[in-house]
Amino acid sequence: MTNAQQKQQEDTMTFTLPELPYAQNALEPHISEKTFGFHYGKHHQAYVNKANELVKGGPLEGAALEKAVVESHKQGGALFNNIGQIYNHNLFWLSMSPNGGGEAPAPLLEKINEAFGSFDAFKEAFVAGGMGQFGSGWVWLVAHEGKLEIVKTANAETPLTDGKTPLLVCDVWEHAYYLDYQNRRADFLKVFIEKLVNWQFAVENWNKANG
């Protein structure tokens, strides 16, 4: 298949694998290129492929992703699992940056201090949230009614279906970290929140939710 043919095929699909804002080795040494390649190129791509197969000819064919997440959640099953995983992974890649980490900028820092007492307390609560998610799932920082919350979800679930606005998310499925951290999920979560988190992305989402 030529590049032009591939592009034409992608244009007819409801969902596509998003282009990354950085190279697949850009998060090293925190996330290896091997882990990233499997996660993005295999796991995420598989959700895209299956979701396109499931929506073909149905009411969600051609739907925007967020609408498809909310509508498929009402049905559940494989349809939501695959669409939800596309949405969650899209946000996960954007929640990280090669120049990430550090302290959250204003105005988000003030809201973090208001909700959690201090920035260090927030980081501890975020890691605890990720550790408290038994099995596969996600840990989120969300905005809800002008305040911040840490939310954990299982499998493909997302706070979007509860009317909350995701600001950033960390994937705690084992395939997100096992090649690099083995069973040390806590170490992965600490690296995410201290070295990788894209605060600019979180601020942009906060501003959209409270603009």
Reported as a single tens digit per residue, the pLDDT across 94-126 is 999 999 999 999 889 999 999 999 999 999 999
Q: Which domain holds residue 175?
A: 108-209
pLDDT of residue 11: 52
Dihedral angle computed from the Cα positions of residues 190, 87, 112 and 129, in that order, rounded to the nearest 10 degrees: -50
Q: Is residue 79 part of a domain?
A: no
Q: Tell me the CA distances in angstroms from 204 to 31, 65, 68, 106, one per residue in order.
A: 24, 19, 22, 12
Regarding beta strands 137-144 and 147-154, do their DSSP bridges make them parallel or antiparallel, or are they unpaired? antiparallel
pLDDT of residue 107: 86
pLDDT of residue 27: 97
pLDDT of residue 12: 67
Across the beta sheet with 165-171, what order do the strands follow? 147-154, 137-144, 165-171
Cα separation, 27 vs 52, whole angstroms? 29
Instruction: Give residues with Cβ within 8 angstroms of 201, minimum separation 6.
Output: 94, 95, 97, 167, 168
Q: Is residue 65 part of a domain?
A: no
Q: Is residue 171 part of a domain?
A: yes
Residue 117, both tokens = 């007492």
Q: Is residue 91 part of a domain?
A: no
Q: Tell me the CA distances in angstroms from 55 to 27, 80, 160, one per residue in order.
A: 33, 10, 20
Q: How many CB atoms lie within 10 A of CB 17?
A: 18
Number of domains into which the chain is organized: 1
Cα separation, 153 vs 87, whole angstroms? 13
Where the chain has pLDDT below 50, the residues are 1-10
Q: Is residue 169 part of a domain?
A: yes
Query: Which string of b and e fits 159-194 if b means at least 16 CB within 10 Å?
Result: bbbeebbbbbbbbbbeebbeebbeeebeebbbbbbe
Which position has the token pair 């349809």?
79
CATH of the domain at 192: 3.55.40.20
pLDDT of residue 5: 37
Q: Is residue 71 part of a domain?
A: no
Q: Is residue 58 part of a domain?
A: no
pLDDT of residue 4: 38
Residue 71, both tokens = 């509508």
Do residues 183 and 131 lie in contact, with contact meaning Cβ atoms separated by under 8 Å?
A: no
Residue 60: φ, ψ to 5°: -95, 0
pLDDT of residue 2: 44
Q: Is residue 84 part of a domain?
A: no
